[in-house]
Structure 1
Amino acid sequence: MQNTTRKSLLRGIAAAIGLSTALSASAADPLKVGFVYIGPIGDHGWTYQHEQGRKYMVEKLGDKVEANFVENVPEGADAERVIRNMAKSGYDLVFTTSFGYMNPTVKVAKQFPKVTFEHATGYKQAKNLGTYLSRSYEGRYVGGFLAAKMTKTKKVGYVASFPIPEVIRDINAIQLALDKYNPGTEIKVVWVNSWFDPGKEADAANALIDQGADVIFQHTDSPAPIQAAERRGVYSVGYASDMQHFGPKAVLTSIVNDWGPHYTKSAQAVIDGSWKSEDFWGGLAEDTISLPLSDLVPAEVKTEAETIIASIRSGEFHPFTGPIKDQAGTVRIAEGQTASNGDLASMNYYVEGIKADMPK
């Protein structure tokens, strides 16, 4: 009897040790983090910067995370399939990095409530789904100031992707700066209906230059518009990454996105069990965007640009401060008021001064 009891006790101790070992191993398992990218990681723009953010997160968190990505994922059914496969494959945290991934992410998040999701540039949240984006309009306003000071033709060009609120508010921010610093300067827009198509992007930039634009902006992902501006001898403003090296004689500045700190913070929060769904907007104040100013910008203009940047960073100035009217003359933001995140997230109109028609 004593022998049986002793054996049972030993088996119990062994089982407890085994369970403890298993729990320790489980606790040491890295957080599995997935990224879904709209373009190639070598696009030198939007996807490239998200990939730099992923690498930053891995560098900061080390063996606490295991991070992988899938690139060149079209918006729509393919995105839903990729996101679902990640959730089914044991990923703990999934970042989906394009506006058109919003509904697929929402759908998969409902099906996998124990997986944490974050979607870039969207506006739909759930208990296990947060959103994040950069206040790129802050950079666009500064770029608009530079364009106002540097243009000789009073015509500025914009290579646009899709007519979503993020793109529309960035176009509006440029026009607001043009109106203030060089009234009568016009922004012309060409829509390419793609995030990454170097051929279309270059053609759009050339078409804008042919129409007299001597400063080219882009809301697309390749350096093709910058390279077109360099070849044609006009100025440009890069987007997502620092594109100076693609147009050393063209680039006045770039609106550079830095996603690394946000990715690191979110992953650490999931590890700690403290993650909560939120709508994160990162701008100059959060160092989510930066604006490296080129030496092509005259010293006095650079000084004024730095003053504008500092005023936005401190909260003293908001680019969307009323009164702001739409093309029809209707007041959209009252005098003395600033646009809320909700106003910005749903922006579907051009401001007064833009002569182009809104695409349907």
Structure 2
Amino acid sequence: MRYIDEFQDPALARRLLDDIRAAVTRPWALMEVCGGQTHTIIRHGIDQLLPPEVELIHGPGCPVCVTPLEVIDKALEIASRPGVVFCSFGDMLRVPGTGRDLFQVRGAGGDVRVVYSPLDALRIARENPDREVVFFGIGFETTAPPNAMAVHQARRLGIGNFSLLVSHVRVPPAIEAVMQSPDCRVQAFLAAGHVCSVMGTAEYPALADRFGVPIVVTGFEPLDILEGVRRTVRQLERGEHTVDNAYPRAVRPEGNPAARAMLDDVFEVTDRAWRGIGVIPSSGWRLSERYRAYDAEHRFSVTGIDTREPAACRSGEVLQGKLKPHECEAFGTACTPRTPFGATMVSSEGACAAYYLYRRLETAPPAAPFEEAPVG
């Protein structure tokens, strides 16, 4: 249980909380840009244990949630076609498109399969040469390397019936977009440790300097979050704005050179639309010209998509940190995991799903002491 129990130690949590309380002298607003961190924060009540001067704002860190509706609708169209095997991670199947989701496509006869790796989809393509196999490649810098590897392998092995529907996004441009918002309240960031384990930290110092915000690379266990907050508050109180790596057991400044080389070979940077936010320049990847034959959007030429977001859905404001999930009028009533308006309610990393799962249905009273919070 090494690196699990020791990062959920109540005594160490109290010490970190004491350090934060001793350091803070004025209100500060910090944003985490990672859905996994959001779920840790809400599950363990970390936001309620912190002193009232420290506010945690949930940012656009859920990869499923920021996948644009147009791409979801394209996935639904491709998955509905005869002769197509559409492969995806399971958390995409309940994400609502315009009027339906992938579960409903499967229920209507589409061959939609849940896989655990893009290489599983590649294996299906090898075993079914008479079928077109499409893998739904979404996510941040963490899932991009294995998806790139699958396309690289398909080209190397000459598997021509495999393609990737790409909707990959990048964190640093999202941080820039958040800071450029006219009503931005964010004064510091907790950067996602798994993203930095791939990409390193080289892109963050320029952002910290440009916007005058501390950026602290943070892990995912409760003590990781508290240590990230502690380091961030200390910088804010001292008027500093540097990049600090609070997750050295997984993150190196250079990241993962092999994974980065694979990304450089297979993908190229492009503008990308984020659901509920809009187009962020240079915030995504697409397949490079060398691998364009494996791009499902080009292969299937999906056109005439008419996207329609539910008028009552405010997930875009949630993703931008402008609204807490329970502040949405539809939250927990018209919008639930069984009847979701947006991806934030059904994704395993969605903020709305976290608030619903851990019963944050309204502004909650102070949390129980940390040792009584669930840590299993």
Sort the TM-score into its range (normalised by shorter chain). 0.3 to 0.5
Q: Determine which structure has more spread, i.e. the larger CA radius of gyration.
A: 1
How high is the TM-score relative to the length of structure 1?
0.40
